[in-house]
Structure 1
């Protein structure tokens, strides 16, 4: 059994900060559940381009207002408390936060916790061998400007 509290994650390696969001990662690949679970805050007034080519994601909004736009051709969806969406077709999308958005996100396959968005908005599919030989900062430097 795994029990974690948000205050135990904040300020640790499980809290990943980027220019447009902060992601608190409750469950990761090493936890052995087959999926990862994140509590993510997207900052008001930001846009994040995301394209999970290697992962499926389900997102449930619990706070805030925003918009999800499938790119390049739409459609767009209003996001607010009680809205769930899933990217079951690996859709490239733009997430705009009108106010701070608090989202609960589930990924499969599970994230390792060291992924950084690349220039396309994609997380690489990291293997455990990479985790043993690379630090988060080394991966981030390779991605140059990713988040």
Structure 2
């Protein structure tokens, strides 16, 4: 059984930050669950264009408000606590935090290793590429 608290992850190598986000990585590929689970906070008033070409991602909002825009169609979906959005087609999207910091519980498949950084196109490298660097 794996038991972790957010408190013990804060400040560890599993507490990863970018310019406008912070991801506390509760489960990673090394945990052997087949998916990774993250507690992610997006800073209010910011937006990011992302496209996870090699991963599927589901996000469940637990705090704040924002919106996600599907780049291909321009369709905009509001996000508030209790909203789930899933990128089931590796959708290129814009994520905005509009009212308070947007806090999401995120699931990635295949699981993240924890060392990924966003590429210029907003994607993460495929796991196989990261394996060759290990």
Instruction: Please give the range of the TM-score, normalised by the shorter of the 2 chains.
Output: over 0.9
Gaps of 5+ in 1: 133-147
Match of 2:110 in 1: 109
C-alpha displacement at 1:63, in angstroms? 0.3
C-alpha displacement at 1:88, in angstroms? 0.4
Match of 1:129 in 2: 131
Q: Is the partner of 1:62 in helix, strand or coil?
A: strand
Runs of 4+ deviating beyond 2 Å: 126-132
**TM-score normalised over the length of structure 2:** 0.94
Match of 1:80 in 2: 80
Match of 1:7 in 2: 7
Q: Is the partner of 1:129 in helix, strand or coil?
A: helix
C-alpha displacement at 1:126, in angstroms? 2.9
Match of 2:46 in 1: 46
**Alignment partners' CA distance in 2, 1:122 and 1:129:** 17
Q: How many residues align?
A: 132
Gaps of 5+ in 2: none
Larger strand fraction of residues: 2
C-alpha displacement at 1:125, in angstroms? 1.1
